[in-house]
Amino acid sequence: MDIKRLEHFLKIAELGSLSRAADRMRLAQPALSRQMRLLEEEAGTPLFARHRRGMQLTPAGEELRARISGPVRQVRHAFDDLRARSQEAAGHMALGVPPTVSYVLAGRLARRVAQQAPKIALRIVEGYAGHLVDWLHRGEIDAALLYGPASDFHMPVEDILHEDLMLVGPPGSALHPDDPVDVTDMARLPLVLPSQSHGLRLVTETAARKAKVTLDIRFEADSFLVLKELAEFGLGYTILPLSAFGREVEAGRLRYAPLRNPRVTRQLVLGALREDQLTRSARIVIRLAKEEMRGLVQSGGWQARLQY
C-alpha cells in the first residue's frame, strides 16, 4: 500500500475536488486521477462519486477515511521525526482545546512555539470534550486539554489545573468579586447556560443538586461567546471561568461574583497519545503549553490552581 496514495486520497476527500487537490499538492490532475483509480482497484469498490461539482466520498470512502486518517498522520509524523533527529525540532503537531481554553491560551502558545520552536507547524483544534476525545482516539490530534473530572475519560490523563467558576451578569447587576453568591441564591436568577451535554452545564447542575435547588434556565447556547452576549444584554446570568470573560469585565461590559455553598470548580486535564506514539514535535509543544499555562497562572493572567 502506497502511503502517498492514501495521503492524496485524504486531500481529495477534504477538498471535495480533484482539481483543487491537484493544485494544492502541485500535481498533474491526470496523474492524481490515475492514483485514485489504482486505489479503488486495490479497495475493490468505488471510493468517490464523481459529479460536475467535484468528488464526494461513497460510504466505502467515508469508512476508509475514518480508518486511515489517524494512522497515515502518525506514519507521516514518524518520518518527520526521523528526518529531524539530528536537526532542530520540526514537524507537525495538533493540539485540541475547548473554546474557553483557546480564548486564554491559543494565541500565547502559538507565539511561544514561534519563538522557541519555529520549525514546528502547530495546529490548534477547537472542540468540546466528546469530539476531542474521539479525535484523540482516532489519532487525528496528538493531545488535548479537556475539562474533567479525569475519571470521565477512558485514557491516561494528567491533572493540569483547577479553576473556580463565576456567576456572570450584566453591567448593571449588583455582582461584585468581593461578595460571593450562594448557589441557592443563584438558582433564583434567570440563567443562560450551555446544553446538557456541555461540561459547564454538568458542573453547574451538580452544584445545584448538592445545594438541593432547581435551576431557572431561560436560554441555552453552546457558544461561550453567545453566553457572554446574552448576559451583557441582561437576558440572564451565566456561569463561566474568569479566564473566559476577564476582558469584558475590564471594559465594564460584564460583572461577576464567586459562587459558594458549594464552591463551583472545574478540572482541566491533559490527554495525549501514548508516549511511544508522540512525536518529538508533540512532546515539545506539550512542554511549551505547560510552561505557558504555568506562567499565566503565576502572573495572575489565569486565576486557577496548578496541579503539576
What is the C-alpha separation between 166 and 172, in angstroms, rounded?
17
User: For helices 224-232 and 99-116, what crossing angle results, to 10°?
Assistant: 120
My answer on whether omega of the bond before 149 falls inside 30° of 0, hence cis, is: yes
What's this model's pTM, rounded to 2 decimal places?
0.70
> Three-state DSSP class for 51?
strand
What is the C-alpha separation between 289 and 110, in angstroms, rounded?
9
Sequence-distant (≥ 6) Cβ neighbours of residue 296 within 8 angstroms: 104, 105, 108, 302
* pLDDT, average across residues 179-184: 97
Grid coordinates of 28: 498533474
Q: Which of 69-78, 112-121, 267-276 has the lowest mean pLDDT?
A: 69-78
What is the C-alpha separation between 295 and 290, in angstroms, rounded?
9
**Which residues is 143 bridged to in the sheet?**
95, 272
Domains observed in the chain? 3-82 (1.10.10.10), 89-159+267-306 (3.40.190.10), 161-266 (3.40.190.290)
User: What local confidence, expressed as pLDDT, does residue 85 receive?
Assistant: 57
Q: Residue 169 — very low, low, confident or very high, per pLDDT cuts 50/70/90? A: very high
| Whether the Cβ atoms of residue 86 and residue 253 lie closer than 8 Å to each other | no
Please state the separation of Cα 257 from the chain's center in Å: 27
- For residue 38, the one-letter residue type is L
- The 10s digit of each residue's pLDDT in 211-246 is 999 999 999 999 999 999 999 999 999 999 999 999
Q: Residue 68 — very low, low, confident or very high, per pLDDT cuts 50/70/90? A: confident
